[in-house]
């Protein structure tokens, strides 16, 4: 994309919009105003151009080219290098998208390098341009306004994460099998959000400690203190989210364990009922098998059988079958099989 906005400000007002970076450099030398160059995913040649003109340190240039930096505040001589990690909540996808913006501020210039859609620096420009008294305070005013915009954009992210956590709590107690994955994904987003927000407290404290040395205007001091209050609230909320997700994960693990135990108990009870049925069926099968066995023996058609000519043979066989059945019934009944 390259250059998205390029202007020279004099006395708090937008005076010239140079068509090229070289024109901007020339005007800054002639007008003695403030240049604000906005770059979006610039080419290496564009970064090299501003780096050579404003004497950026090679380490800061390297960080800008590579991107994927943590939030930090570093001073290289007269140039202050600031890295911020803005974020925005995508409702349709229910996830947090993180960006990155690098801000170089010097005595008479501001160079912003964005590597993502957020933050909306055009909104920052419009707000400052509508407040000439504030913009007249120079590059520090621009830096503090960018800080304020990034922190303000954290508000919808916090609200979105809070809503996601509420939904997860409902899913946990509703027994949703996919909730564990969502807890993990949301925990990663919260940790990434912490990495973007937690360093800001130290960065703002470092800026505040330089108020006297760099003779920062009182209005900017008040603005920075207000931004710091917002940052502290965001950091505390995000830390609370992290702890809450840990508790939700523990509760979910407990509930999953309970459901598994209940399922195992149901399976065990079903197995016991099946065993009782098997015992009952086996007992009656054994009882009914006994007379069948006796009847089979006496039903053989052998001519030489001792009981065939006996007058009491038939009553004896019937009595024997009845006795065996009663004996088996009593045995199985005492053992609880019937």
**CATH number of the domain that residue 287 is part of:** 1.20.58.340
Q: Where does a domain end: 233, 258, 283?
A: 258
CATH code for the domain in which residue 161 is found:
3.30.460.20
What's the CA gap between 186 and 159, in Å, rounded?
13
Q: What would the two tokens of residue 279 be?
A: 């015992």
Rounded distance between C-alpha atoms, residue 62 and residue 105, angstroms: 17
253 and 277 inside one domain: no
| Residues 210-232: tens digit of each pLDDT | 877 777 788 888 888 899 999 99
Helices (H), 55-138: 58-66, 121-129, 132-135
Q: Give domain status of residue 142, yes or no.
A: yes
Q: 104 with 214, same domain?
A: yes
pLDDT digits (tens, 9 = 90+) for 169-222: 888 888 777 788 888 889 999 999 999 999 999 999 888 888 777 777 888 888
* 293 located within any domain: yes
- With a cut of 90, say whether residue 104 has pLDDT above it: yes
Closest CA to 144 of 200, 98, 96: 200
Residue numbers of the domain that contains 290: 273-334
Map residue 94 onto helix, strand or coil: coil
Q: Is the pLDDT of residue 299 over 80?
A: no
pLDDT at 114 over 80: yes
- State the distance between the two ends of the chain, measured CA to CA, in whole angstroms: 86
**One domain for residues 237 and 288:** no
Q: Looking at the predicted structure, is the pLDDT value of residue 18 above 80?
A: yes
Tokens 């010239």 sit on residue: 16
Domain end residue (candidates: 235, 258, 281): 258
Residue 222 maps to a domain: yes
Same domain membership, residue 284 and residue 252:
no
> Could you tell me if 133 and 244 lie in one domain?
yes
| pLDDT score for 295 | 74
CB 66 within 8 A of CB 162: no
Tokens 């199985």, residue located: 332
Residue 61 maps to a domain: yes
Assign residue 36 a region (left: φ > 0; alpha: ψ between -120 and 50; beta: otherwise).
beta
Decide if 263 is inside a domain: no
CA distances from 162 to 19, 151, 171, 244 (A): 45, 17, 14, 10
43 with 84, same domain: the answer is yes
Task: Give tens-digit pLDDT for 28-38.
Answer: 877 778 999 99
Residue 24 located in a structural domain:
yes
Domain count for the chain, please give it. 2
Residues 75 and 183 in one domain: yes
Asked if residue 267 belongs to a domain, the reply is: no
Specify which of 20-34, 42-56, 279-293 reaches the highest per-range mean pLDDT: 42-56
| 239/142 same-domain check | yes
pLDDT confidence band for 302 (50 / 70 / 90)? low
Task: Assess if residue 311 is contained within a domain.
Answer: yes
Q: Can you tell me the distance from the alpha carbon of 133 to that of 237, in angstroms, rounded to the nearest whole number?
A: 34
Element (DSSP H or E) covering residue 183 = helix 179-209
Identify which has the larger pLDDT, 335 or 75.
Answer: 75
Query: CA-CA-CA-CA torsion for 20, 22, 23, 25, nearest 10 degrees?
Result: 130
Same domain, 164 and 236: yes
Domain boundary among 224, 258, 292: 258
Does 122 lie in the same domain as 92?
yes
Degrees to nearest 5, angle at CA 110 with 105 and 112: 100
pLDDT at 67 over 90: no
Whats the size of the chain, residue-wise? 338
């Amino acid at each position: 994309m390259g250059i998205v906005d390029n202007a020279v400000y004099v006395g708090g007002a937008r005076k010239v919009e140079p068509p090229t970076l070289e024109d901007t450099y020339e005007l800054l030398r002639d007008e003695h105003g403030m240049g604000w160059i906005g770059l979006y995913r610039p080419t290496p040649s564009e970064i090299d151009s501003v780096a050579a003109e404003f004497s950026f340190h090679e380490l800061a240039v390297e960080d800008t080219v590579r991107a994927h930096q943590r939030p930090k505040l570093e001073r290289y001589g007269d140039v202050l290098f600031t890295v911020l990690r803005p974020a925005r909540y995508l409702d349709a996808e229910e996830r947090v998208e993180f960006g990155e913006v690098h801000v170089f501020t010097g005595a008479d210039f501001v160079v912003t390098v964005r590597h993502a859609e957020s933050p909306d620096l055009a909104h920052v420009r419009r707000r400052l341009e509508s407040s000439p008294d504030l913009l007249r305070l120079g590059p520090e005013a621009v830096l503090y306004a960018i800080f304020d915009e990034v922190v303000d954009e954290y508000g919808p992210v916090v609200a979105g994460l809070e809503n996601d956590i509420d939904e997860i709590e409902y899913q946990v107690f509703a027994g949703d099998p996919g909730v564990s994955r969502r807890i993990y994904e949301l925990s990663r987003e919260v940790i990434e959000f912490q990495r973007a927000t937690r360093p800001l407290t130290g960065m703002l404290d470092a800026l505040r400690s330089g108020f006297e040395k760099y003779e920062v205007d009182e209005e900017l001091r008040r603005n920075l203190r207000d931004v710091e209050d917002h940052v502290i609230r965001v950091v505390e909320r995000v830390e609370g989210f992290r702890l809450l997700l840990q508790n939700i994960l523990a509760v979910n693990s407990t509930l999953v364990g309970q459901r598994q135990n209940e399922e195992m108990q149901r399976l065990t009870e079903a197995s016991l009922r099946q065993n009782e049925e098997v015992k009952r069926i086996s007992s009656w099968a054994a009882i009914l098998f006994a007379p069948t066995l006796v009847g089979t023996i006496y039903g053989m058609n052998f001519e030489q059988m001792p009981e065939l000519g006996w007058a009491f043979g038939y009553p004896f066989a019937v009595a024997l079958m009845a006795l065996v059945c009663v004996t088996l019934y009593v045995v199985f009944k005492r053992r609880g099989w019937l």
